[in-house]
Copies of this chain bind each other. A is one copy, B any other.
Amino acid sequence: MKDTVPVVGSSSAELVRNLASGRRVALSRAISLVENRSPGFRELLAAVQPHVGRAHRIGITGPPGAGKSTLVTALVGAWRQLDLRVAIIAVDPTSPFTGGALLGDRIRMNEIALDAGVFIRSMATRGSVGGLALTTEEVADVMDAAGFDRILIETVGVGQTELDIAAATDSTVVVLVPESGDGIQAMKAGLMEVADLFVINKADRPGADRMARDVSMMLHLRAGRALRNVPAHHGVDLARAARPAARPDARPDAEAAGWEVPVLQTVASEGRGTPELADALERHFEWLARTGERARRRGQRLAGRVREVVDRAVCQIVWEDRGGNQILDESAAGLGTGEISPYDVASRIVDETVRP
């Protein structure tokens, strides 16, 4: 594959020229290289790094049936009128139970796929070689370096992982529908922490006004408690024990001031409210740049990626290179009888592989 379009092995400038020339085949191959962790993927990512940072990255998330793909199609239409190039990453749902319901949405999105200024890539959550959040960000880097102006990351699952992926962007749009449940539920679930914009889609249905009011009220309560946009929620796996709760680079609350999360109402299927959404996204992007918040978020995402890569590498050293697996195998009998506890075995492995 690499023979026809030299993705790896070429100089950094050559590579980026190749990507930026708009050659879809080159882009597809570069993305596959990253997704599959094929030889050379690190060099590719290092080569694109200096060319990353121009695109506006937008995450769109919400429950199944909220009309996310219709909203995406409308946004793409608005941007294409301005001759902006758009890349879309559609992250497949992880749910073993609700996975099938979204096929219709996906097919509808294919209308825009025929446009040469639009590039669509699906990413599966199962069987991802790297971590999905990490790989998604890396794929977005490749798209960014390839000169796309807008990168939309649409997550169609309903879990915390999908929310985290969507929030690993410059701007996070949370789409709800009047029947999604009330605003209190939304606040409980952590949506308030990651949303830069709320959209109540299908707003011609009963309950839209009430829901918009509820969400706005919650946002005001939340703002009072200065918990909005807590950095820990941006872009990295919340379960990682290695990431301390309060890092020195955590943003001072004062910096969060100045952006009031809008709660927009749309009927995306009829194009109602979608121009206002596009406008609100532009305003958010300007605000991010003006306040330095964009660079801060990007820095945090990059730090999160370093953490992920280090954690994986270190675990591999412990288990494979330094005999952790062997100690575990030797301890199997004692574990089975309860003679030694998992923590005993863990201590031994840590002592013998990492501690000097």
Instruction: Tell yes or no: A289 within 8 A of B by CB.
Output: no
B306 & A331 in contact (Cβ 8 Å cutoff):
yes
Report A250-304 residues with CB < 8 Å from chain B CB: 295, 298-299, 302-303
A249 & B332 in contact (Cβ 8 Å cutoff):
yes
Instruction: Tell yes or no: A338 within 8 A of B by CB.
Output: yes
Report A43-73 residues with CB < 8 Å from chain B CB: 45-46, 49-53, 62-63
Q: Once the chains are docked, how many angstroms separate the CA of A195 from the CA of B346?
A: 29
Give the total of A residues in contact with B, Cβ under 8 Å.
Answer: 91
Instruction: Tell yes or no: A325 within 8 A of B by CB.
Output: yes
Instruction: Tell yes or no: A226 within 8 A of B by CB.
Output: no
Instruction: Tell yes or no: A100 within 8 A of B by CB.
Output: yes
Chain B residues with CB under 8 Å of A307's CB are: 319, 328
Chain B residues with CB under 8 Å of A97's CB are: 62-63, 158, 180-181, 189, 191
Closest Cβ of chain B to A130, distance in Å, is 8
A349 & B310 in contact (Cβ 8 Å cutoff):
yes
| Interface-side segment among A1-9, A17-25, A207-215, A239-247 | A239-247
B336 & A96 in contact (Cβ 8 Å cutoff):
no
Report A311-345 residues with CB < 8 Å from chain B CB: 311-320, 324-325, 328-329, 331-332, 335-345
A328 & B303 in contact (Cβ 8 Å cutoff):
yes
A-B contact pairs, 12 of them (CB 8 A): A46-B343, A49-B341, A62-B97, A96-B186, A101-B181, A243-B319, A298-B336, A299-B336, A302-B332, A309-B342, A310-B324, A310-B349
Q: Footprint of B on A, CB under 8 Å?
A: 42, 45-46, 49-53, 62-63, 94-101, 125-126, 128, 131-132, 157-161, 163, 180-182, 185-186, 188-191, 239-244, 247-249, 295, 298-299, 302-303, 305-307, 309-320, 324-325, 328-329, 331-332, 335-347, 349-350, 353-355
